[in-house]
Chains A and B, each alone.
Chain A
């Protein structure tokens, strides 16, 4: 046993050496490894798919997440990927067969707005790690540094079919920090949950929260004017930072950089630079229509894109602008009235954005809501159709399928059941747009991670030895 540990330690040392050797080579006199470069991934994902067996789900009804529906079809999962989907597929010998008669299959549900892990339960003061409420610009903080993997909420979300979730910093600040996409697998560390290769995101916020939090401290911003003013001043600085580092990196590439050329490093600006370079996706908390329109113009002024507006309670008023800018709106089905900027919430927000050709996404921002995003989608679908629209159930599933994946820059990997995509799959014991349906089995990268029938469900360290341990919560 001792030797195994030693062997692992040696392997780690070796790989550390290997990565050092990958430092940029230059033709100049100075060895390149002495010139600092920015490591864009200092907390790399250590997630690896868990062991899986080739699995065929047969005779099952399917919402494929991209707008398709198959009645009585088949899905084949091999080596962690969707291998085939259709009315009937060819399966290899010895495949594990799951009878899906009378049941439904969907892609694993994606929640683009969650605070599991950074506002975990129990929600005691010691656990309030979701928002660095000490300055209007905290682009330097990263949500993953406040995520507690033992949050019992992850296990409840899994029972609701969630396989990927995006953890964001809170909305007190104009620049809240980096968000992170997670695989919903239990882990000891957040690195064991991180979605490999997922783009980072930047949480921004407009409206009531930043101006209230800082205005009440007699700091800027104290008004919606101040919100935009601080945003613009910060983006202008970010452009300057971006230019300096671009110039330096250009010199390094050309082999004529010296130590004196190295620009000052600013962790917050690294994130904003990533946005300007299109590598980091903006996730902007914003409720009111007029404010979203201003933010879209500001993004044009500084040359970045708003990937998704979050909450977007008045998105239904500016569906044309959202469509023209290619910006998704992540929305609740029916929340309203808790603050002024949520006063005009209507039940048809999701379907109205969708009907105008926009990218509508159902989100939760809530540790109970994340357990039933299928139900939230079903309510919005019914409300839209009652208002005269004609949206099919399989189309509505895109709001927690391919559209949600798009909102996180992950639509090539997840969000729909198509050959080659990650085998994130939920088997529901009924039509998941019905209130009576529950997730029966959940596969993540083809590995069975939850099974209500055999009572296979993770129990977080926190809940071990507590009343109700292992209960089908």
Chain B
């Protein structure tokens, strides 16, 4: 479990805090998405979780251990992949990297070797274990970085933009792996990403930050449901539509977007279309995706969770 209480970080003489009174609970075994535009404070928060930055105020507990006061125990609770850095040594092989990072976490050599074998096999890197990581593709390097974060089998994994710059196949592998870690092994995963489809697919719960503050912290389904536009419908028809509708025609199919004050009005709209000779293909209530929600949250000046 990750517990963050009133976490604040002010850099030097900066007027505005980079992270401002953020409080969060990430339940054990869940995948938690930490979203926000550039400069929102996500990476600063991750670095405070990882003990790399000292908070100006507030507390962080990983697996029940206070990062500031119980640092050695807290450091044993997590592995991390940080954004914008190599994370692993390019002049060492995948095997040597995992052995190093495992022992750095305080594990015995034999235990690390066993775990490294499992991880490299699971990631399809076993045959390349003795090759230098510098010669790997970006996707393979990221796999090694994630394996290094998991080498000590920590209960918590912090992933800062884990799929950034990866191709479709590598992204799929990383996503599958995150799901497996959480669902099957009970690992708590906190991930930041700008790829909202990734967050929507993986995360049980999502928090959105803006200008250092949390503007939402809800289970993904609830967050999406909260933004469902109950009064907006999308109707697809074949043929022409009467004047007065917002319509887009592509390859013979016309899509109409209508807003209604009462669901019963939808029947009237369909009747008008039918009377005009249009053939109904589909009718759906508009479901927002995480991107819509995210944009709404970061663009609305006073939206709060």
Q: Do A and B come from one complex?
A: no
